[in-house]
Structure 1
Amino acid sequence: MTARSARQRDTIKADEPSEVGSDQRLGETVRLLRQRAGLSIQEVAKRTGLSTGMISQLERALATPSVRTLRQLSIALDVPISYFFEEHAQPDPKSYIVRKASRRLLRLTASGVVKEALTPNGNGEMELYELTLNPGGSSGTDFLKHTGEKAGYVLAGSLRLWLDHEAHILETGDSFRFPSLVPHMFDNPTQQVARVIWVTTLTPQV
């Protein structure tokens, strides 16, 4: 097997048939959460800073959101970002354990990112993910900040973590933690797939 074919094998496939269904399910989830909160598209746009056209396209599965966009929506709709994940198995509501085969997935095809939820479904003060980033994959083009903390560990490849407009290159085995109020974003500037354990707290630290 050549190096090129190995990279192609490891790269997230953007043309898998399940991608279409994933975008549709994600759009329906955004719409239902918005309606449940009694908010119009215009009100959600004001809360997130996104355009009404973008939110409308997301709800109709005509656009794929970035990691940053989903975080903005989760804050505006007052739900954990895990609400946007697809179910791979019927979870036990009393379970504290997540089996690998039962991980909930979130495919952000346009961003080159796949997020796998490692924490059980339900409300909590912490979210744990495994992120897989294609070459060039990123959280989006803009910086994000909100309450809480974030931390992580690079399992494989390299991650470029931007904190307050300063870039930090993290290699396999490196880790990080920072207040989420620090403007931040991330990307994979290499030609190799990167995998990162990512932790987010949902409440301010005291």
Structure 2
Amino acid sequence: MDIGARLQWIRKSKDLSQRELAKRVGVTNSTISLIEQNKVSPSVSSLKKVLDGIPISLADFFTLDLDAEARDTPFYSADELPDVGSNGIHYYLVGQHRPQRQMCILREVMPPGTDTGESMLEHDGEEGGVVVQGEVEVTVGDQVRVLRAGEGYYFESRIPHRFRNVSDEDAVIFSANTPATF
């Protein structure tokens, strides 16, 4: 996926200049330009920060070109779970087109050595999850713990947090957060 071209198209469709978006986000307009030229690959947290300035959710950003017709079904096959991830981490979103969706449910797949970025994530709401495979170092505020299969987490998402796969296999997490951030 061409993240830069997608960002540029969405920014222009919202009638925003690179300068205005950069001002809203608190970065230089050259940063926006480099992302749009695909000369910089932003982390998930950095991309979310840029998209918050538009505003558009990560899910809408990655799935905008998909059929947006609302679905009224409680079931989703594996091929109906779009990957809304970046930087090598896969976030498979459940119920993307569900009308008035108020929570986000993800199957997360983190290859060995991947993490959510050097910048800690922060957003409104709560989130929780369970590691089903591998080992994931979870940092919440000043607390750090390595979670293994069967162990979980639950915290207020306004507390800065970060996830890192510290194992030599894919780490898989099932997570949910509310309100929906993807």
Q: Name the TM-score, length of structure 2 as normaliser.
A: 0.83
Q: Which amino acid aligns with 1:114?
A: H
Deviations 1:75-117 (A, max 9, x none): 2222221013258975652334432112212352xx3312211
SS of equivalent residue, structure 2 residue 48: helix
How far does residue 172 in structure 1 lie from its aligned partner after superposition?
0.7
CA contact 1:98–1:120 (8 Å) conserved in 2: no
Residues 61 and 162 (structure 1), Cα distance of their counterparts in 2 relative to 1, 3 Å cut? same
Q: Which amino acid aligns with 1:145?
A: E
Q: Percent identity?
A: 22
- Is the counterpart of residue 43 in structure 1 residue 17 in structure 2? no
Q: Aligned partners of 2:57, 2:30: CA distance in 1, in Å?
A: 23
Equivalent runs, 1:180-191 vs 2, <5 Å: 180-191=157-168
- Aligned counterpart for 2:101 among listed residues 124, 136, 161: 124
SS of equivalent residue, structure 1 residue 196: strand
Deviations 1:160-188 (A, max 9, x none): 11111321111111111111110111111
How far does residue 132 in structure 1 lie from its aligned partner after superposition?
0.9
The ranges of structure 1 where at least 4 consecutive aligned residues each deviate by more than 4 angstroms after the TM superposition are: 86-92
Indicate the residue corresponding to 1:115 in structure 2: 91
CA contact 1:88–1:103 (8 Å) conserved in 2: no
Question: What is the aligned length?
Answer: 178
SS of equivalent residue, structure 2 residue 106: strand
Indicate the residue corresponding to 2:43 in structure 1: 66
Structure 2 alignment gaps of length 5 or more: none
Equivalent runs, 1:183-202 vs 2, <5 Å: 183-202=160-179
- Is the counterpart of residue 103 in structure 1 residue 72 in structure 2? no
Q: Aligned partners of 2:82, 2:71: CA distance in 1, in Å?
A: 17
Q: Name the TM-score, length of structure 1 as normaliser.
A: 0.74
In terms of fraction of residues, the more helix-rich structure is 1
